[in-house]
Amino acid sequence: MTIPIRNLYYLFLYAWARFPGGAVGETGIDKSPDLPNLFAKLLSAGTRRLFRRGLDRGYKAFTDELAGPRGRLRLDRMVKETTQRRGTAVCDFDELTHDVLHNQVLKATLTSLAGCSDVEKEIRHDLRSLALVSVYGTYVFWERFGFQTTAAPELADKLKSYGDTGRYMRKSL
């Protein structure tokens, strides 16, 4: 008797009280015969859910020379560097950003698994890029984040369901 590895994974999640309540998990025979492929699929699916919800953001401290005051003025550096002659001010300020530790860990893990030779080629491709469907002319917004319109003939029928404005877009990580 063999037990599929995915079933063992969910069993351990349940035992460690890490299985989200009410969530449905696929069990049974699947195309993940080993741990690297299983983890790659789970990470890929979890990352897609996370992107739909939105990545976490946090505040990071910056010190920069700016044209106008922002945050706390650094008078010691302004005098030392004579920034008043250039009409600038040195300021300490906090900025809300997606570049926080847990997002960096997620990206590093995605990159590492995408380079793992034990992971199937199709799954590695999914880990290296993000994809979305832009509707109602929002492609301009997504282009600012590095997404590019991509031809995908195999998705033509699905794109038609979004109407004339649906565009398939991808971004490499």
- List all residues 6 or more positions away from 35 whose beta carbon is below 8 Å from its beta carbon: 5
Going from N- to C-terminal start, the domains of the chain cover 1-30, 31-57+98-172, 59-97
pLDDT of residue 15: 65
Instruction: Check residues 8 and 63 and name the one with the higher pLDDT.
Output: 63
The reported pTM is 0.62
Compute and round to an integer the Cα radius of gyration of the chain.
23
Q: What angle do CA 43, 47, 52 make, to 5 degrees?
A: 155
106-125 tens-digit pLDDT: 888 888 888 888 888 888 88
